[in-house]
Amino acid sequence: MVAEERMSYSAIMNPEQPVQPAEFCLRRTLADIKSFAQREPGQAVAAAVGAGLLINMLPTRWVAGTAAVVGAMLVRPVLLSLGVTKAMELCCQNSSPNDLS
């Protein structure tokens, strides 16, 4: 699907909110977090300490094992979809008459 088609379809479905790249969403989220930390510094510190404790308390083997299992489960479908996409790209390529000679 071409990017213009995706954008026009999205604009038809939700004309008030245009499609934004992931970078803009990340910047907006970081700005929201920064404004929250300025409004509620105590809650922001408590949330940061809680997240840090949670990360440090989780066993490394459990985190690495989960990441490895999820990665192994996703490798086959991702490679299959990439292969199908490439095959469709090669099959549907428009060849000009100059290429035949």
Task: Give CA–CA dist 33/37, Å, rounded.
Answer: 6
Give the integer Cα–Cα distance in Å for 70 and 65.
Answer: 9
- The model's pTM is 0.41
Instruction: Tell me the C-alpha distance between 54 and 46, whole Å.
Output: 12
Closest by Cα among 21, 44, 25, 42 to 33: 44
56's tokens = 């440090």
Q: What is the pLDDT along the chain (101 residues), one digit of tens a residue?
A: 444 444 544 455 555 666 678 888 889 999 999 999 999 999 999 999 998 898 888 888 888 898 899 999 999 999 999 999 999 988 988 765 555 55
User: Token pair for residue 17?
Assistant: 């909110």
Report how far residue 51's alpha carbon sits from residue 57's, in angstroms, rounded to the nearest whole number. 10
Task: Answer for the pair 37, 44: CB distance below 8 angstroms, yes or no.
Answer: yes
Quote the distance between the C-alpha of residue 82 and its chain's center: 17
